[in-house]
Amino acid sequence: MKVHYECLACQINQCQKIVELSTNDLEKRKKAMIFSAMLFAKYFNEKSIPAIVGSDIFLELYEYLGVDDPFREYKDKSNKLAQKVVEDLKRKVKIDLKTALKLAIAGNVIDFAVGYEPEKIEEDILGMLKEELYIDESEKMFGMLRKAKILLYLTDNCGEIYFDKLFLEKIKEEFPELGIYIAGKEGAIINDATVKELEEANLDEVGKVISTGTRIVGVPIDKVSKKFLEIFNKADVIIAKGQGNFETLSELRDKRVFFLLKAKCKPVARELNVPQGAMLCKTL
């Protein structure tokens, strides 16, 4: 997905969040935001893919600020809260394969920031479970999984990885012969899940955890490792969670790739020709 006009403001807001998480010094914050503004001129053009250039900017900003993982505390809290919510839902809801798929999508939209009550999260997720997917190609995906030997699952953010684990557990039950690879980032970038964080969440219990070989958001095919690319190429089905994976993979038009997401922003909704906020499981 190429850049839309709203993407720059979104990325600037993300830079501000990085700066505020990294330092309380107002002078340093000002200088860091001016540094960020210069990076936008350096990286963005009309053909830019937001997730990729945004990552390049964020990583340079990390280096400028002398930080490696400014979202560390946020991610830890997200994971603890999500784990509790999933455990509660398992006791309250009968979860089949399709319900687990919807939970995986719902988990992508919850803001696990401090101050969001766990009870409210459960209420919101239960509400989303009652919604129909705006585009639902899950039966096509499940049909392909029945014949598949290898599934590659591309994760997105911390917190929601516990919903991913629940979905993958159901996939493993339904398709026991399926080989499952679960990909995370090589290192920290915003609140995306790293390989280390996937292992800490015990996703290696449901598949082989692998690295994309890069810290860039999504899956930038020209920047991933050779090892990851080999697995990507031999996978029969690829499940791509969230908007970052959509931004980086949508132009491939690869029929093996099923995007699971909620169109949280106008540019992604526009690209998919769906209302903002629509939940979907779709290949291109």
Alpha carbon distance 43, 57 (integer Å): 8
Phi-psi region of 120 (alpha: psi -120 to 50; beta: other; left: phi over 0): alpha
Q: What domain range includes position 238?
A: 73-282
The CATH number linked to 198 is 3.40.50.10880
Same domain, 49 and 117: no
Which of 17, 38, 65 terminates a domain? The answer is 65
Nearest to 101 by CA among 187, 30, 55, 166: 166
Same domain, 56 and 88: no
Same domain, 84 and 35: no
Handedness of CA 170, 272, 149, 146 (dihedral sign): positive
Nearest to 84 by CA among 162, 151, 6: 162
The angle subtended at Cα 21 by Cα 18 and Cα 114, nearest 5°, is: 115
Which of 42, 65, 88 terminates a domain? The answer is 65
Nearest to 145 by CA among 233, 238, 230: 238
Which of 34, 65, 96 terminates a domain? The answer is 65
The CATH number linked to 22 is 1.10.8.380
User: Tens-of-pLDDT digits for all 284 residues of the chain?
Assistant: 999 999 999 999 999 999 999 999 999 999 999 999 999 999 999 999 999 999 999 999 999 999 999 999 989 988 998 899 899 999 989 999 999 999 999 987 765 544 556 567 778 888 888 899 999 999 999 999 999 999 999 999 999 999 999 999 999 999 999 999 999 999 999 999 999 999 999 999 999 999 999 999 999 999 999 999 999 999 999 999 999 999 999 999 999 999 999 999 999 999 999 999 999 999 99
Contact residues for 12 (Cβ-Cβ < 8 A; gap 6+): 36, 37, 40
Same domain, 148 and 48: no
Same domain, 90 and 40: no
Same domain, 14 and 150: no
Same domain, 271 and 188: yes
Alpha carbon distance 236, 257 (integer Å): 9
Same domain, 44 and 110: no
Same domain, 154 and 31: no
Same domain, 269 and 236: yes
Same domain, 164 and 271: yes
DSSP assignment of 140-169? HHHHHHHH-SEEEEE--BTTTHHHHHHHHH
**How many Å from the N-terminal Cα to the C-terminal Cα in the chain?**
12
Same domain, 138 and 255: yes
Q: What is the total count of domains within the chain?
A: 2
Nearest to 33 by CA among 17, 16, 11, 50: 16
Q: Which helix (H) or strand (E) holds 211?
A: strand 208-211
The token pair that represents 58 in the structure block: 């964020």
In this structure, how many other beta carbons lie within 10 angstroms of the beta carbon of residue 279? 21
